[in-house]
Amino acid sequence: MEYETNAKHTNKSSLTKTQKIKKELFDIIKTILIAIIVAFIITKFIIVNAVVPTGSMKTTIMPNDRLIAFRLSYIFSEPKRGDIIVFKAPDDENMLYVKRIIGLPGETLNIIDGKVYINDSNEPLPDEYIMEEMLGSFGPYTIPKDSYFMMGDNRNDSQDSRYWENTFLSKDNILGKVIFKYYPKIESLWNK
């Protein structure tokens, strides 16, 4: 009889151990699944994670910099001139580009001797963020409703609105406004 009691106690103890292992395993799987779901929701609806492969945005953004763009930036406001954004390329929506908004809907943009003029203004746009003086003359371009004229900061080495088959970026193709670089160093780009 004493032997039976010990046997029952041993089975009860090992069953408890098995249950503990199953519970721990379940908790680990649940934590991993929650993390995957949260990461999916964040990247699908809140941020865009992008790697810049070219030098078209030098010196603001260098090749291989990694960026975070905020998808909700334009829910309550419109894109502004000077914003750096991540968007689906107008000529190939499978590619993501990072460029600066230069021309806004309804404007006429003209590039004369490397200077950008909006709506026949006598004063060119400020170009304090460009890498070097732009060469060439382009335009005029009349920007359609809900569209934007995009250019890289490294104007002499940027495939942008000046060269695209579909010249203008549709607002529907904007994924988000770049808010910061996180690699190789963390740096805010919110107001650059």
Catalytic sites, residue numbers: 56, 99
SS (H, E, C) the chain: CHHHHHHHHHHHHHHHHHHHHHHHHHHHHHHHHHHHHHHHHHHHHCEEEEECCCCCCCCCCCCCCEEEEECCCCCCCCCCCCCEEEEEECCEEEEEEEEEEEECCCCEEEEECCEEEECCCCCCCCCCCCCCCCCCCEEEEECCCCEEEEECCCHHHCCCCCCCCCCCEEHHHEEEEEEEEEECCCEECCCC
